[in-house]
Amino acid sequence: MTREEYANMLLPNVLHDRKYYEEKYQKRNLKPGAMVTRIAPSPTGFVHIGTLYQAIVANKLAKQSGGVCFLRIEDTDQKRLVENGIEQILEAVKAYQIPFDEYPIDMEREVGAYGPYIQSKRADIYQAFAKDLIIKDLAYPSFLTEEEKKEMTEKQQKRKQRIGYYGIWASKERALTMEEVKEKVEAGIPYVIRLKSKGSFDNKIVIEDCIKGKIEFPENDMDHVLLKSDGIPTYHFAHAVDDTLMGTTHVTRGDEWVSSLPLHIELFHALGFEPPKYAHLATIQKEEDGKKRKISKRKDPEANVRFYSEKGIPVEAVKIYLMTLANSNFEEWFLANPDSDMDEFELHFENMSTSGALFDMEKLLNISRNYLSRISAEEFYNQILQWAETYSKDFIEDLKTYKDIIIATLNIERNVAKPRKDYGMYSEIESNIKYMYHFENPEYEWQRITDKKEIVEILTTYIENYYDSSDTEEVWFNKMKEMCDKLGYASNMKEYKKNPDNYKGNVADVSTVLRVALTGRSRTPNLYDIMKIIGQEEITRRIALLKN
Ligand code: GLU
């Protein structure tokens, strides 16, 4: 039996050979220095904030260098797949407007010439390369059962040896002749294809990571599985094949893969490929009881990108925040250039953290408040409406009915040098502005003046003698002061502080009565603006509520 016949027996249903695929996927024609990056999420559950982070970093690096960024779905681990996993990834990519150049649109359609971009559709490609390794005696079949594997591990534990399939542990199957293998295959014994490692644990290799710098490892000496018994590849093998054929220049991926580097480097060499550059991104961490830990899929709701959508934290704010985690100098740049497009900032590996980036919800909300304070009220309204259509259906009717009032409210103290920063999430808007269009049975937050008779006196005096809907803000405020003098309150704060006992209170106490009477709240945006928006009739009605 020739080695070709042997390889054919082991992988009988392969349509094409390695050469076919190498010719099919031509080298990308890009200018020098252009980076080809990707994210390669597995559809094993909800989309993790870390995946979004990686997507933003990978895209930015590609775009700023004139390169390409693509999305590859890694759905080869059948046991961990979840229903709708792929849809969730595609949805998140859409929601966050991640500008991939190449990606699957859905299970059938895709954009890009290096696909399929869903690994389960690439089985023939992996098998073609595995077959080539078998022909070159760089890979071999392994018939080890789960039971035998367990026994081996137990022995290794007992002897305090490294766990895994290497050296003497692999020697028996490595030594099987083609005839012996044939017998087993014909007997229907299932098998996987393993790498025939040439490495030695006593040798060291040094890898230059773009973020972590030089890292030294012992060489890989494990005969890792390349193809499982159903012909589906492991992550490691698929990574080497795909990132080569797809022309990835820089693999930006999670820190948890660092320890696999020796295996990956060996795989690239066995396949005759040039390894890409690696940049291992620090994981997003959380502080709990003074200790840092990886943000957890199970424990932390903020690990799920849907959390931000549900809360209504704007996409733009989340992206800006993730950029601050990616590069320590981004924040400074952004503060200095608040109106610039994020794309104008250059991301550099040198400025990326080697330890974990700490997730800080308060900081994210601050960024969000800033962002929302700088867009136009109309744009803000549209974003709220869009959010409500998915996450707050009950709010939609009011949003539509009171559109003008709501936009006017959002517009209070907006187009000024220091705009108000009242809102950080769309989900906080309704409860914060409802009093503007819905004012029945309010709970009044009275402050210093609580006596009902006094309150009614102030309000009656105001509405009968001082209120004029056509007043300018200045006149309005002067009248408030005049009324204070009349009712025994200090209109001048300095005077009041000198002799507080001479007065019933001061102008702030009086205007608070008006504010609470008209809104229920002791703290609101500019009261004059609020009064302009709700209008004379409604002001009169609200004041009358207290007189009864
Ligand atoms: N499928 C791997 C994961 O989800 C991808 C790692 C990589 O980016 O290469 O962790």
Between CA 49 and CA 357 the distance in angstroms is: 12
Pocket test for ligand 1, best of 253, 260, 278 (most atoms within 8 A of CB): 253
Do 448 and 509 contact (CB within 8 A), yes or no? yes
477 closest CA partner among 439, 521, 406, 531:
531
> What are the pLDDT digits (tens) for 403-455?
999 999 999 999 999 999 999 999 999 999 999 999 999 999 999 999 999 99
**Interstrand relation of 277-281 and 250-254 (parallel, antiparallel or unpaired):** parallel
Instruction: Please give the distance, rounded to the nearest whole angstrom, from the Cα atom of residue 51 to the centre of ligand 1.
Output: 9
Q: Classify 327 as helix, strand or coil.
A: coil
Instruction: Please give the distance, rounded to the nearest whole angstrom, from the Cα atom of residue 72 to the centre of ligand 1.
Output: 9
Instruction: Please give the distance, rounded to the nearest whole angstrom, from the Cα atom of residue 172 to the centre of ligand 1.
Output: 33
Instruction: Please give the distance, rounded to the nearest whole angstrom, from the Cα atom of residue 61 to the centre of ligand 1.
Output: 18
Q: Determine whether the shortest distance from the Cβ of 250 to ligand 1 is under 6 A.
A: no
Q: Determine whether the shortest distance from the Cβ of 75 to ligand 1 is under 6 A.
A: no
Backbone angles phi, psi at 84, to 5 degrees: 65, 10
The residue whose C-alpha atom lies closest to atom 5 belonging to ligand 1 is 40
The residue whose C-alpha atom lies closest to atom 10 belonging to ligand 1 is 41
Q: Determine whether the shortest distance from the Cβ of 253 to ligand 1 is under 6 A.
A: yes
Burial 381-420 (b: 16+ CB within 10 A, else e): bebbbebbeeebeebeebbeebeebbbbbbbbebeeeebe
DSSP-assigned letter for residue 543 = H
Q: Determine whether the shortest distance from the Cβ of 40 to ligand 1 is under 6 A.
A: yes
Instruction: Please give the distance, rounded to the nearest whole angstrom, from the Cα atom of residue 282 to the centre of ligand 1.
Output: 14
Tokens 């893969």 -> residue: 257
Q: What angle do CA 368, 369, 375 make, to 5 degrees?
A: 90
Q: Determine whether the shortest distance from the Cβ of 42 to ligand 1 is under 6 A.
A: yes
Helix (H) or strand (E) holding 195: strand 192-195
Between CA 317 and CA 55 the distance in angstroms is: 15
> What are the pLDDT digits (tens) for 162-172?
999 999 999 99
Token code pair at residue 12? 């009988």
> What are the pLDDT digits (tens) for 24-82?
999 999 999 999 999 999 999 899 999 999 999 999 999 999 999 999 999 998 888 88
DSSP-assigned letter for residue 25 = S
Do 278 and 259 contact (CB within 8 A), yes or no? no
Q: What is the pLDDT along the chain (548 residues), one digit of tens a residue?
A: 999 999 999 999 999 999 999 999 999 999 999 999 999 999 998 999 999 999 999 999 999 999 999 999 999 988 888 889 999 999 999 999 999 999 999 999 999 999 999 999 999 999 999 999 999 999 999 999 999 999 999 999 999 999 999 999 999 999 999 999 999 999 999 999 999 999 999 999 999 999 999 999 999 999 999 999 999 999 999 999 999 999 999 999 999 999 999 999 999 999 999 999 999 999 999 988 888 899 988 889 999 999 999 999 999 999 999 999 999 889 899 889 888 888 899 999 999 988 888 899 999 999 999 999 999 999 999 999 999 999 999 999 999 999 999 999 999 999 999 999 999 999 999 999 999 999 999 999 999 999 999 999 999 999 999 999 999 999 999 999 999 999 999 999 999 999 999 999 999 999 999 999 999 999 999 999 999 999 999 999 999 999 87
Residues 6+ apart with CB under 8 A from 57: 252, 281, 326, 347
Between CA 274 and CA 272 the distance in angstroms is: 7
pLDDT for 288 equals 86
Between CA 155 and CA 127 the distance in angstroms is: 33
Closest approach atom of ligand 1 to CA 54: 8
Do 191 and 160 contact (CB within 8 A), yes or no? no
Instruction: Please give the distance, rounded to the nearest whole angstrom, from the Cα atom of residue 256 to the centre of ligand 1.
Output: 9
Instruction: Please give the distance, rounded to the nearest whole angstrom, from the Cα atom of residue 11 to the centre of ligand 1.
Output: 26
Between CA 51 and CA 100 the distance in angstroms is: 14
Closest approach atom of ligand 1 to CA 256: 10
Residues 6+ apart with CB under 8 A from 313: 364, 365, 368, 424, 425, 426
| Long-range contacts, 416-419 (Cβ 8 Å, 24+) | 419/373, 419/374
Q: Determine whether the shortest distance from the Cβ of 520 to ligand 1 is under 6 A.
A: no
Pocket test for ligand 1, best of 54, 74, 75, 81 (most atoms within 8 A of CB): 74
Other C-beta atoms lying within 10 Å of the C-beta of residue 183? 12
Between CA 329 and CA 347 the distance in angstroms is: 9
Q: Determine whether the shortest distance from the Cβ of 43 to ligand 1 is under 6 A.
A: no
Number of H helices, E strands in the chain: 23, 14
Between CA 288 and CA 228 the distance in angstroms is: 40
Domains along the sequence of the chain with CATH: 124-281 (3.40.50.620), 375-436 (no CATH), 452-547 (1.10.10.350)
Q: Determine whether the shortest distance from the Cβ of 41 to ligand 1 is under 6 A.
A: yes
Closest approach atom of ligand 1 to CA 38: 8
Pocket test for ligand 1, best of 37, 69, 86, 239 (most atoms within 8 A of CB): 239
Backbone angles phi, psi at 36, to 5 degrees: -110, 120
Q: Determine whether the shortest distance from the Cβ of 240 to ligand 1 is under 6 A.
A: no
Tell me: cis bond preceding 218? Omega within 30 of 0 counts: no
Pocket test for ligand 1, best of 57, 117, 257 (most atoms within 8 A of CB): 257
Do 223 and 142 contact (CB within 8 A), yes or no? yes
Q: Determine whether the shortest distance from the Cβ of 239 to ligand 1 is under 6 A.
A: yes
Instruction: Please give the distance, rounded to the nearest whole angstrom, from the Cα atom of residue 337 to the centre of ligand 1.
Output: 34
Q: Determine whether the shortest distance from the Cβ of 49 to ligand 1 is under 6 A.
A: no
